[in-house]
Structure 1
Amino acid sequence: MSEPTPQTPGTARDDRLAGKVAIVTGGGQGVGRGISLGLAESGAAVLLVGRTLHKLESVAEEIRAAGGTAECLAVDIITDGAPEAIIAAAVERLGGVDILVNNANMAMPLPLSDYPDDAFRTAFEGGPRVTFSLMKLARPELAKRGGGTIINLVTSAAVRWDAANYGVYSAVKEAIRALTRAAAYEWAAEGTRALNVAPHAHSPGLDWWMENNPEEAAAFVAGIPAGRVGDPLVDVGRPVAWLCSAEASYLSGATIPLDGGQSRWG
């Protein structure tokens, strides 16, 4: 199974987000890393949030090596006070908040009958509950700076033709999608936009699955019109940077699929 080679990631290419401060949860790997690099390429200072400090520091070093600004905050987002600590760190270390990217995820694809009750609670804690808290806490900081952009990561599994194994995972992401839509309406007068992004891109988990299930992985890739799984920076991070820019100022409340044409949103 071969995939076309995407554009090679490079150094900073523009300044459309110069002077902006972004928070990215789950910023240490996969899509979160790609989004963090994409925002930094466009001039934003980035607060990388996650549980594992060395992963965050690795991404921060990539950003700094390319001339960007990055800070790290190692925290379990579902612990008491974590959302408050995240917003406070962005304000104190980087001067404010202009962009909030809720990327961290604790839900798993499992059959409903196999999903443990405690894991179900954790999935909703780490999904809509923390997303909601961060959105509310970021709102006044965004408003102080004339408004900003909230990007919430969702999933095309919610519109998958075969919903088996994706019930809880999709439910978590669809709850977030509803919050995004409401925020787009309720906070528009403050200059804040809210968008959902549904990506397909390489990550440690997906790569492991593809390597260990080659026949299923080949069928998966064959179902993507673009013929490949996305690159976290080129195919997700850079588009997200554009979505956060003034060039996209008339776009809010929508779900943007960055998946090579695979999903069908109604």
Structure 2
Amino acid sequence: MTGMLQGKVALVTGAGQGVGQGIAYALAAEGARVAVVGRTLAKLQDTCAEIERRGGTALAVQCDVTRAADIERCVVQVVEALGGVQILVNNAQIVPIGTLLQVSDEAFMQGIDSGPLATVRFMRACHPHLKGDGAIINLASSAAVRWDASGYGHYAAVKEAIRALSRGAACEWGADGIRTNVIAPHAMSPGMQGWIEARPAEAQAFLNTIPLRRVGDCENDIGRTVAFLVSDNARYLNGATIPLDGGQAYWG
């Protein structure tokens, strides 16, 4: 590792497992001090313990991203404990999957509250601290560009709202020295693993449409790319959506 994030503080939501955990590991490996944020304290502590075992610095912060007061408290706690926030990764998301007739209003609103609403709340809360040399990574999904969107309409709508907010931030906050980009990853998270086990035939057909013929690794494929994107090596990249899906989706 190059230590390209030495001296930076990163806040990663949904970092107790899966993609968020992989991103936290990769950022810490490059020298960032990482605030590991999520709902389940035990999982956060496990992530922090692994970062510290590897020689990094991490802070577990319990937070329900659907609650505005939790978000405000979280950011204050991170700034007080670690001295600031230069990197924000909005990864947490409750996923509303199902057909238009199946997904309830309540489930759809959980997707909105945990996705675009939480994302913009974290961005606003971190904005004063990100000014000057900040980088934001938000998460989208190729569900929005699936050849067959059946069963994914609500989820795609939630994730496309995040992309729209990210583009707005890229344009509005670029003059503040804040870059905002989006990734759309496929990764072997617990959710993906559960889906593969529950629907093996559908999953195999899905995997066959990935040109690289595999799902990405949370740390080595997704996390390391994020570490590059928030570093000075990508300092002129702003407002982009980067697919990390092995070449599967065609974003046009």
TM-score computed with the length of structure 1 as normaliser: 0.93
Moved more, 82-91 or 252-261: 82-91
Residue 17 of structure 2 aligns with which residue? Answer: 29
**Which of 99, 112, 136 is the aligned partner of 2:100?**
112
Q: Could you tell me how far apart the structure 2 residues matched to 1:130 and 1:248 are?
A: 25
Residue 200 of structure 2 aligns with which residue? Answer: 214
Determine if contact 2:96/2:108 at 8 Å carries over to the other structure.
no
Q: Deviations over 1:18-52 (max 9, x none)?
A: 00000000001110011001111111000011111
Q: Could you tell me how far apart the structure 2 residues matched to 1:76 and 1:190 are?
A: 28
RMSD after superposition: 0.9
- Overall identity of the aligned pairs, in %: 53
Residue 52 of structure 1 aligns with which residue? Answer: 40
Aligned length: 252
**Which of 94, 108, 130 is the aligned partner of 2:118?**
130
Q: Could you tell me how far apart the structure 2 residues matched to 1:242 and 1:125 are?
A: 29
Q: Could you tell me how far apart the structure 2 residues matched to 1:80 and 1:150 are?
A: 19
Structure 1 ranges of 4+ moved more than 6 A: none
Q: Could you tell me how far apart the structure 1 residues matched to 2:196 and 2:69 are?
A: 37
Q: Could you tell me how far apart the structure 1 residues matched to 2:136 and 2:63 are?
A: 20
Residue 139 of structure 2 aligns with which residue? Answer: 153
Q: CA deviation at 1:79?
A: 2.0
Residue 3 of structure 1 aligns with which residue? Answer: none
5+ residue gaps, structure 2, are none
Residue 212 of structure 2 aligns with which residue? Answer: 226
- C-alpha change, 1:80 and 1:179, in structure 2 (3 Å) is closer
5+ residue gaps, structure 1, are 1-12
Residue 165 of structure 1 aligns with which residue? Answer: 151
Report the 3-state secondary structure (helix = DSSP H, G, I; strand = E; otherwise coil) of the residue aligned with 1:81: helix
**Which of 50, 67, 70 is the aligned partner of 1:79?**
67
Task: Give yes or no for the alignment of 1:93 onto 2:81.
Answer: yes
Q: Deviations over 1:209-261 (max 9, x none)?
A: 21232222211111100110110001100000000000100100000001100
Q: CA deviation at 1:68?
A: 0.4
Give, as a single letter, the amino acid of the residue that structure 1 aligns with 2:125: L
Q: Deviations over 1:147-197 (max 9, x none)?
A: 210000110110001011111101011001001001111111111000000
**Which of 236, 241, 248 is the aligned partner of 1:250?**
236
Q: Could you tell me how far apart the structure 2 residues matched to 1:78 and 1:213 are?
A: 29
Q: CA deviation at 1:80?
A: 3.9
Report the 3-state secondary structure (helix = DSSP H, G, I; strand = E; otherwise coil) of the residue aligned with 2:76: helix
Moved more, 71-80 or 180-189: 71-80
Residue 222 of structure 2 aligns with which residue? Answer: 236
Q: Could you tell me how far apart the structure 2 residues matched to 1:203 and 1:248 are?
A: 26
Residue 188 of structure 1 aligns with which residue? Answer: 174
Task: Give yes or no for the alignment of 1:68 onto 2:52.
Answer: no
Q: Could you tell me how far apart the structure 1 residues matched to 2:193 and 2:101 are?
A: 26
Q: Could you tell me how far apart the structure 2 residues matched to 1:117 and 1:39 are?
A: 36
